[in-house]
Chains A and B, each alone.
Chain A
Amino acid sequence: MTDDKDVLRDVWFGRIPTCFTLYQDEITEREAEPYYLLLPRVSYLTLVTDKVKKHFQKVMRQEEATEIWFEYEGTPLKWHYPIGLLFDLHASNTALPWSITVHFKNFPEKDLLHCHSKDVIEAHFMACIKEADALKHKSQVINEMQKKDHKQLWMGLQNDKFEQFWAINRKLMEYPPEDSGFRYIPFRIYQATTERPFIQKLFRPIASGGQLHTLGDLLKDVCPGAIAPEDGEQKTQVMIHGIEPMLETPIQWLSEHMSYPDNFLHISIIPRPTD
């Protein structure tokens, strides 16, 4: 029987084989070879692609250092979304490796946030953790931590150090013994087909009668149109970290074990493949 802690490791160490290709209109001095990399599902594009940037800059003309950005089949990829979320949302039912196009020009100002340094990624990551704790614990746990604990969360992610990260993160996954779970569950639901980037609402893990709310309860409450009734044809997949958890799974358990390092459950609703 798999220990719950094994789930934490499996989530952390998930990887997506990716092929990076330079956009054909970028001006190069010689042909640019594609670059292959295993991307951590739980990290961010601009945090793990220094080698990709160096590889392509080697074949480009010496121009001013312009900001790298990534695109998949014409869609600019939001670096501030975790990599695993981007893959599940845009490419989960396509053949591996994931083919991403690399750009250095014409940054899409209307679509993407700028990412001029690692500090921007850290600030974004910590802001997400802070917001998640506002929902789970009215910010009490995160505010009681010292700056060095906050730093350890970030360093754990940046250096891919599971133990270092969870030494601190476990405190964010606790709750008072008199409660059965968090105050509210930090989650976001994404659908590539809508203009709205995601749905986020207040949702309690425990019902008034004390029963545990499930993933199915969350979906019914927050986006009822996304999943068909039980007897109907299931046209969509509900995906977290590349798998479809059973809708009967308690949402409190999912929040504790399948959140991303930013402490949010990022859930994708995608069309079910018809084959």
Chain B
Amino acid sequence: ESLDDSQVAGVRATEEVIRYEYHVIYSSSYQVPVLYFRACFLDGRPLTLDEIWKSVHACYQARLLEGPWDTITQQEHPLLGQPFFVLHPCRTNEFMSSILTSSQKHNRHTNYIILWLSIVGPVVGLNLPLSYAKLAPEQNTTADSV
């Protein structure tokens, strides 16, 4: 039996539109990119850490809870000086180097930023379209051909 109009409207009323803002910033201390983000409702009210946390998919939550260094925290944006949420960068080298090594073994061309963002982005609601992965090597940034 199909849903009638009122039931569909009832479901929609509990959904909220949230505006996310993502910044990728290079950390000279850890020498890796770091994902900063913030989110607010359409009326401008910012999401709290609790609300951000609830929007993280359950399958990622367990992984994030494993260690204090991998959690989402509120940090000051190093250029804007405003509060943002951040995924701590100190494990980035670990997971990136193992992927990059295996890519090299299979002679696969990689773009560091796309690779990195496709891993950390989805945790916080940023899903890269597959078309990024299909970019031919010549279309990648010059940085990764060095």
User: Which A positions have Cβ atoms within 8 angstroms of B?
Assistant: 78, 80, 109-114, 123-124, 126-127, 130-131, 134-135, 139, 186, 195-198, 200-202
Contact = CB atoms under 8 A, between A and B. Distances in A.
A124 B86 CA distance: 12
Contact of A131 (B29, B76, B81, B82): B29
Contact of A110 (B78, B82, B88): B82
Contact of B30 (A110, A134, A200): A134
A263 B37 CA distance: 27
Nearest to B28: A202
A110 B81 CA distance: 9
B78 A114 contact: no
Contact of B75 (A113, A126, A135, A196): A113
B73 A195 contact: no
Given A109-B83, A113-B83, A134-B29, 10 more contacts: A114-B48, A114-B74, A124-B73, A127-B73, A127-B88, A131-B29, A135-B29, A186-B29, A196-B78, A197-B79
A135 B28 CA distance: 9
> Which DSSP category, helix, strand, loop or mixed, fits chain A's interface?
loop
B10 interface: no
B33 interface: no
Which are the 6 A-B pairs with shortest beta-carbon distances? A197-B81, A113-B74, A131-B29, A113-B83, A134-B29, A109-B46
A69 B90 CA distance: 30
Contacts of A110: 82-83
A134 B89 CA distance: 11
B129 interface: no
Contact of A200 (B28, B77, B81, B88): B28
Interface of B: 28-30, 46, 48-49, 68-69, 73-83, 88, 90
A131 to B, nearest CB: 5
A60 to B, nearest CB: 23
Contacts of A124: 73
Given A130-B90, A134-B90, A196 B29 contact: no
Nearest to A111: B82
Nearest to A114: B74
Contacts of B76: 78, 80, 113, 197
Given A109-B83, A123-B68, A134-B90, A198 B78 contact: yes
Contacts of A127: 73, 88
A134 B66 CA distance: 21
Contact of A201 (B28, B80, B88, B90): B28
A130 B69 CA distance: 10
A131 B74 contact: no
Contacts of A134: 29-30, 90
A239 B29 CA distance: 23
B28 A131 contact: no
A123 B29 CA distance: 18
A69 B49 CA distance: 18
Contacts of A114: 48-49, 74, 83
Given A109-B46, A109-B83, A134-B90, A200 B78 contact: yes
A135 B29 CA distance: 6
A109 B38 CA distance: 12
